[in-house]
């Protein structure tokens, strides 16, 4: 097994320890080569049964305007008693980053691998993407919400009945002067198991 030098190991760990979510995000966005690296990182996620349940829908450029219109349409459908103008702000969400990536779990039902494990695999892929985005010098934000569960959104993105939309990654350049988020100590979330409880 190839081992990393202490310097390389510390640098890789620093990438993990300094990642945080950013919103909104601006140009520049990752170029095609960098996006390929981000997607390749996703495919390194744990994958029980080698099912490869990950699917990604890349939305950028003027396609974000169409996504924004769809977000407004969905909001109007959920609250038909309100005027469309009350939901126009929803459309601006699609422009909050130069690149938007829909995260899709393409579930295999003809397998012994539980659905939850396939969903977790896509979640792990998304985390790999966020870490790769950060390592490349960009920022990311993972958003979910009611739009992810709308059948109309699924149809618009070309999803099938076996697909689940797990949200959207917004990708771009963080604003200047972002303060690091203070994290709690991990001690409060860790226990060591020594024996079974009676």
The pTM of this model reads 0.92
Q: Quick check: is 154 in a domain?
A: yes
Q: Which residues contact 148 (CB under 8 A, 6 or more apart)?
A: 165, 166, 167, 168
Question: What was the pLDDT predicted at 150?
Answer: 96
Count of domains for the chain:
1
Band the pLDDT of 126: cuts 50, 70, 90: very high
Q: Quick check: is 86 in a domain?
A: no
pLDDT, tens digit, 9 for 90 and up, residues 35-52: 999 999 999 999 999 999
Q: Quick check: is 168 in a domain?
A: yes
Q: Quick check: is 47 in a domain?
A: yes
Band the pLDDT of 2: cuts 50, 70, 90: low
pLDDT, tens digit, 9 for 90 and up, residues 160-177: 999 999 999 999 999 887
At 158, which CATH number?
Answer: 3.40.109.10
Q: Quick check: is 82 in a domain?
A: no
Q: Quick check: is 192 in a domain?
A: no
Q: Quick check: is 188 in a domain?
A: no
Q: Quick check: is 117 in a domain?
A: yes
What are the φ/ψ torsions at residue 91 (nearest 5 degrees)?
A: -65, -30
Domain with 156, as residue range(s), is: 21-60+95-173
pLDDT, tens digit, 9 for 90 and up, residues 58-76: 999 999 999 999 999 999 9
Question: What was the pLDDT predicted at 171?
Answer: 98
């Amino acid at each position: 097994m190839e081992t990393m030098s202490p310097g390389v190991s510390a640098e890789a760990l620093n990438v993990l320890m300094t990642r945080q979510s950013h919103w909104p995000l601006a140009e520049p966005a990752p170029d095609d080569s960098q996006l390929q690296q981000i997607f390749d990182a996703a495919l390194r996620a744990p994958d029980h049964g080698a099912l490869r349940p990950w699917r990604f829908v890349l939305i950028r450029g003027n396609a974000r305007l169409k996504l924004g219109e769809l977000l407004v349409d969905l909001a109007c459908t959920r609250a038909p008693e309100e005027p469309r103008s009350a939901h126009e702000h929803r459309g601006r969400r699609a422009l909050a980053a130069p690149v938007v990536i829909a995260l899709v779990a393409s579930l295999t039902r003809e397998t012994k691998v539980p659905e939850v494990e396939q969903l977790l695999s896509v979640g792990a892929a998304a985390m790999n993407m966020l870490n790769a985005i950060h390592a490349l010098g960009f920022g990311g934000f993972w958003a979910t919400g009611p739009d992810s569960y709308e059948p109309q959104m699924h149809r618009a993105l070309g999803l099938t009945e076996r697909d689940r939309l797990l949200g959207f990654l917004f990708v771009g350049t963080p604003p200047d002067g972002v303060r690091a988020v203070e994290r709690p100590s991990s001690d409060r979330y860790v226990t060591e198991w020594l024996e079974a409880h009676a």
